[in-house]
Amino acid sequence: MSASTDPIADFLTRIRNAIQAAHETVDIPSSRLKNECARILAEQGYIDGFETEAANEEHPGDILRVRLKYTSDRRSAISGLKRVSRPGRRTYAGAGKVPKVQGGMGTAIMSTSSGVMTGHEARSAGVGGEVVAHVW
């Protein structure tokens, strides 16, 4: 398996693929930023939860296990995931220009100087930062 040059895009793609295949959980190589993104997805109700599994003989690095959330008719709570700021083209938003996703129906995940937070939290806190992804 080749190392991804954009781990966050890989994180979002793995979740997207798991939803397409109607999986209950998806395993993703763990990192602090991915754990924070998963925390936001859980807080916003897009996923059922997540846990980090420590490294072992089978997996050299920590594993982030995400429990996906579906409605009673098996529709995913996540209808879309989009990587905004990429390694080749970083996207930043000032405190006054924090994006609204789907007219406020979605969530912008932002990496700010005060930590990783939603666009709504960044707007309230009056901070800007890197727009990591949009979820709706």
Instruction: Read off the CATH number of the domain in which 54 is found.
Output: 3.30.1370.30
Instruction: Identify whether 74 is part of a domain.
Output: no
To the nearest whole percent, how much of the chain has pLDDT over 90? 90
pLDDT of residue 23: 96
pLDDT of residue 1: 53
The pTM score is 0.91
Q: Among candidates 18, 82, 86, which has minimal Cα distance to 47? A: 18
Q: Which amino acid is at 57?
A: E
**Stretch 114-127: mean pLDDT, rounded?**
97
**Stretch 8-17: mean pLDDT, rounded?**
97
Residue numbers of the domain that contains 57: 7-68
Instruction: Identify whether 1 is part of a domain.
Output: no
Instruction: Clarify whether residues 52 and 85 are in a common domain.
Output: no
Q: How far apart are CA 55 and CA 30, in angstroms?
A: 10
Instruction: Clarify whether residues 86 and 129 are in a common domain.
Output: yes
Confidence of residue 133 (pLDDT cuts 50, 70, 90): very high
Let me know: does 65 contact 24? Beta carbons within 8 Å: no
Query: Do the strands 92-93 and 107-112 form a parallel or antiparallel pair, or are they unpaired?
Result: unpaired
The pLDDT mean for the chain works out to: 94
pLDDT digits (tens, 9 = 90+) for 36-91: 999 999 999 999 999 999 988 887 899 999 999 999 998 999 999 999 999 999 99
Instruction: Clarify whether residues 11 and 61 are in a common domain.
Output: yes
Instruction: Clarify whether residues 64 and 88 are in a common domain.
Output: no
* pLDDT of 19 above 70: yes
Between vectors from CA 94 to CA 77 and to CA 87, what angle results, nearest 5°?
Answer: 65
pLDDT of residue 58: 83
Domains contained in the chain, number? 2
